[in-house]
Every structure is written in C-alpha cells, then in structure tokens.
Amino acid sequence: GDVDSTNPMFDKCLQSNTAQALKEGKTVVYAAFAQGRYQEALYNIKMWKKKGIIPESTPVYADGKSSQEFTVKYMYNELGIKKIMKNFVPRDTKFVPRSRERMQYRQSIMKKSGPKIIIAPGGMASYGPVQNYITNYLPKSDALIHLLGYCSPESQGYRLLNTMIGEKLMYSGVELTKYCDVAKTAETSSHAPRNKL
C-alpha cells in the first residue's frame, strides 16, 4: 500500500511485453503465484491468442504441483465461478507431469528453441519450480523473465529486477551473469495501492 495507482508501475504492460518478446523469438518465463495469478495468466494468454495478439501456435508449458491442483479445482469444482470462465486454459498448453521424470521434462522444455511461454509457481522468484527456469534463462539474451506481482525488497525477484545486464548475482545458490530481460507488472498484483485502501 505504499504506492498510488497513478504510478506508472500500474500501467498494463504484460500483454505488450509478452507479444514483443515472442516476436523477437524469445522464451517468456512467468513467475506466478500458484493460486489466482497463475490461472489469470493462462486466461490472458488464451485471450491474446484468440485476438491474434500473439501467435495461436505459441506453445505454453505450465509447471507446478500446487498450481495445477488449483487449476483443476477452478475448472471442475463448483466454486461459484461463471461457466464461461472455467475454460481458461489456452490451446497448445502442456502441463509438466508430476512424476519422477519432471526434471527431465523441464530440461526438454528448456532445450527447445524458438518462442514459447513457461509459467511456473514462485511469485517473487525466491522459491518453487520457476527457479529451474530462471537459473537456465538468466544468462541468455533470448529470454524474458516476467514477474506478475509485488516483489518485496528481500526477494530474489527484486534482486533480478535491480541487477543490470552483464552484472553477476547469486541466484538459487549459483553465481550467474544476467543477460536476459527481466520485467514486472503490477496490473495483476493483489497488493492494493494506498489511494484504493
């Protein structure tokens, strides 16, 4: 609640950032909170495909046990969600299996060239499966790591945002040099600005 909603950080940039990165042939990695933001991101991707904002053939990889469990609950349980909103998963979405082979599956995703979207839990990039993808893509120039909500000053996401291209940082216990783009949007944040409180 320490910012005003008229602050530029509340500008809607997720769609334009994603579309531009894909146009440049980049992989887009969303660090999402497992409940809410994850499903909202899937719905946004579906609508962007439908409207032709991003290519309909863009592959989407959805990782994370808890996020997949919440996704199934939203789609198939009676939670008072409008019927039209229950079908929010975009075409060409592949869910990372929860089997013992999930690490090999992640590796196969990261080896695929060409534009794609990966969404994984770990909203502030400090925990969860998203760490696997960030560790892989941080040193690469053909990637965009996009944070979908608030990042506290002690979070890894905050450090990623505030590290310059070409600088080294410790991430998930590994020293890496940042060459990818890192962006953030507050349009999907659940943190209220002070003028709305």
pLDDT digits (tens, 9 = 90+) for 110-147: 999 999 999 999 989 999 999 999 999 999 999 999 99
Q: Is residue 1 pLDDT above 60, yes or no?
A: no
pLDDT grade for 33, boundaries at 50, 70 and 90: confident
Q: Is residue 187 pLDDT above 70, yes or no?
A: no
pLDDT grade for 27, boundaries at 50, 70 and 90: very high
Q: Is residue 86 pLDDT above 80, yes or no?
A: no
Whether 107 and 136 have beta carbons less than 8 Å apart is answered as no
pLDDT tens, position by position, 38-47: 898 999 999 9
Q: What is the pLDDT of residue 37?
A: 86
Q: What is the pLDDT of residue 159?
A: 95
Query: Phi/psi at 94 (nearest 5 deg)?
Result: -115, 125
User: The tokens of 82 are what?
Assistant: 């409008």
pLDDT grade for 58, boundaries at 50, 70 and 90: very high
The number of CA neighbours under 13 Å toward the Cβ of 33 is 13
Pairing verdict, β 168-171 and 116-121? unpaired
28, containing H or E segment: strand 27-32
Measured between alpha carbons, how far is residue 7 from residues 2, 3, 185, 194 in Å? 11, 7, 12, 11
Q: What is the pLDDT of residue 172?
A: 92
Nearest to 185 by CA among 21, 13, 33: 13
Computed over every residue of the chain, the mean pLDDT equals 89
Q: What is the DSSP string of 137-154?
A: HTT-SSEEEEE-S---TT
Q: What is the pLDDT of residue 100?
A: 87
Cα Dmax for the chain: 49
User: The tokens of 113 are what?
Assistant: 């060239």
Measured between alpha carbons, how far is residue 116 from residues 18, 23, 147, 190 in Å? 10, 10, 16, 26
Task: Give the C-alpha separation, 194 to 176, whole Å.
Answer: 36
Tokens 């991003």, residue located: 54
pLDDT grade for 185, boundaries at 50, 70 and 90: confident
Task: Give the C-alpha separation, 110 to 91, whole Å.
Answer: 20
